[in-house]
Amino acid sequence: MKLYQGILLALLFVACNRKEEAKEVIRPVYYQKIAESAATDIRKFAGVSQAKNEAKLSFKVGGTLEKRYFKLGERVQKGELIAYLDSEDYKINYNKALSSKKNAEVQTTAAKSSYERIENLYGNNNASLNDFEKAKAQYESALAMLNISKSQLIAAENQISYTKLLAPHSGSISKILAQENEMVGPGMPILIFSSDKDIELTTFIPENLIKQIKIGQKVKVSFSALDNQFLEGEISEFGLSSSRSSSYPLIIKLTEQNAQILPGMACSIEIGFKKETSVSEFIVVPADAVAHDDGGDFVYVIKKTDDKDIYLAERRSVTLGKLLPKGYEIKKGLNTEDNIITAGLSFMYDGRRVSLVKK
């Protein structure tokens, strides 16, 4: 009796184990929407990041670069002093202008007093009209000279202020063009100043694609320095004239900001263009999405279930066309509304339950 019970328990244990082994594993799969691949052709372009606000800073006046406070790559706050010129000559000019203004004030005061005295005499018929007009002209001349001297003093004061270079906004020094003790002329760039908050990308596209470009068009961007992580972007500007032969400039604005992206980084920009029917009149799917056996060529189409997170893999026979660089042409068997599994087909079978991996 005990032997019989032992055998029965052993059989029950084996049966339970087999049930657990038979329990299906829901496999995650990569997939592709046929509508997206059929409607668009993804092109990749090499690009480079740059600061949206980048300026070549220079002095309004010339002189010897006496001091530069920041090194390459250092951050600068808005309004901070970046560099200044030797201002001794401009201070001398300021003192001369100040002296001229004081002399003009003395002369104006004297001319005004004389004019007012002659005016009173003329009113009492004790001075001639000629004396009155002469005194008036001298006063007006002195007053004009005073206004000129005031303007010259303001200009001299401005000249001194122009020997100081201030940061127009917060950013960093991206390139240094002049060193201390060098002579620099007015308007001569001494450094390139970049804002590191707003980064944009620039690239060039061929003339046969520029007509399809639209402002606001979405693109994908990846940086090798960031392990090729994809970021979202959109086209913000494009040129209708080109300095390069048969290519046009394109500016991309990142909709996802990343503090690790710095000006000058190389990137890859993926842009979707409408496919031309002359290239292929059929749906094109990746070669890895097509399987082959004795029954012919087939793919696995994803079907929905009552569970929003679980799908079924349905085997679908297809008729293949040419093998193109982007995959097989599908002449028959698929619709643009279908979603197909693109990887791990060796583990698939008709009716297998799967979950979708979001790329």
* Tokens representing residue 309 in the block: 């997170």
Placement of tokens 């093998």 in the chain: 323
Sheet holding 189-194, edge to edge: 54-58, 189-194, 171-176, 75-76
* Confidence at residue 8, expressed as pLDDT on a 0 to 100 scale: 56
Tell me how far apart the alpha carbons of residues 79 and 82 are, in angstroms, rounded to a whole number: 9
CB 184 within 8 A of CB 209: no
* Confidence at residue 101, expressed as pLDDT on a 0 to 100 scale: 94
- Please list, in sequence order, all residues whose beta carbon lies within 8 angstroms of the beta carbon of residue 173, skipping any fewer than 6 positions away: 70, 71, 72, 73, 74, 76, 82, 191, 192, 193, 194
- Please list, in sequence order, all residues whose beta carbon lies within 8 angstroms of the beta carbon of residue 349, skipping any fewer than 6 positions away: 313, 315
* Confidence at residue 112, expressed as pLDDT on a 0 to 100 scale: 92
Q: Measured at the alpha carbon of residue 208, what is the angle toward residues 256 and 275, in degrees to the nearest 5?
A: 70
- Please list, in sequence order, all residues whose beta carbon lies within 8 angstroms of the beta carbon of residue 53, skipping any fewer than 6 positions away: 169, 171, 194, 195, 198
299, 300, 304, 305: CA torsion to nearest 10: 150
What is the SS3 assignment for the chain? CHHHHHHHHHHHHHHHHHHHHHCCCCEEECEEEHHHHHHEEEEEEEEEEEECCEEEEECCCCEEEEEECCCCCCEECCCCEEEEECCHHHHHHHHHHHHHHHHHHHHHHHHHHHHHHHHHHHHCCCCCHHHHHHHHHHHHHHHHHHHHHHHHHHHHHHHHHCCEEECCCCEEEEEECCCCCCEECCCCEEEEEECCCCEEEEEEEECCCHHHCCCCCEEEEEEHHHCCEEEEEEEEEECCCCCECCEEEEEEEECCCCCCCCCCCEEEEEEEEECCCCCCCCEEECHHHCEEECCEEEEEEEEECCCCCCEEEEEEECEEEEEECCEEEEEECCCCCCEEECCCHHHCCCCEEEEECCC
Rg for the chain, CA atoms, rounded? 40
* Confidence at residue 279, expressed as pLDDT on a 0 to 100 scale: 46
* Confidence at residue 277, expressed as pLDDT on a 0 to 100 scale: 45
pLDDT (tens, 9 = 90+) of the chain, 359 residues, equals: 555 555 555 555 555 555 444 556 888 888 888 765 555 677 888 999 888 778 899 999 999 999 999 888 888 898 999 999 999 999 999 999 999 999 999 999 999 999 999 889 888 888 889 988 999 999 999 999 999 999 999 999 999 999 999 998 888 888 899 999 999 999 999 999 887 677 889 999 888 888 888 898 989 898 888 887 888 899 988 887 656 667 888 999 988 777 788 888 899 998 888 765 444 567 888 888 899 998 899 999 999 888 888 999 999 999 998 887 778 888 888 887 888 998 878 888 999 999 888 65
Q: Which residues pair with 239 in a beta bridge?
A: none
Q: Round to the nearest angstrom and report the end-to-end CA distance of the chain.
A: 61
Q: Measured at the alpha carbon of residue 150, what is the angle toward residues 148 and 152, in degrees to the nearest 5?
A: 70
pLDDT digits over 234-291, tens only?
998 888 765 666 788 899 998 877 778 888 889 999 888 876 544 456 788 888 889 9
* Tokens representing residue 85 in the block: 């010129």
Domains of the chain: 24-39+280-356 (2.40.420.20), 40-52+196-273 (2.40.30.170), 58-85+164-194 (2.40.50.100), 88-161 (1.10.287)
Tell me how far apart the alpha carbons of residues 354 and 359 are, in angstroms, rounded to a whole number: 16
pLDDT digits over 132-168, tens only?
899 999 999 999 999 999 999 999 999 999 999 999 8
* Confidence at residue 97, expressed as pLDDT on a 0 to 100 scale: 94
pTM, whole model, 2 decimals? Answer: 0.51
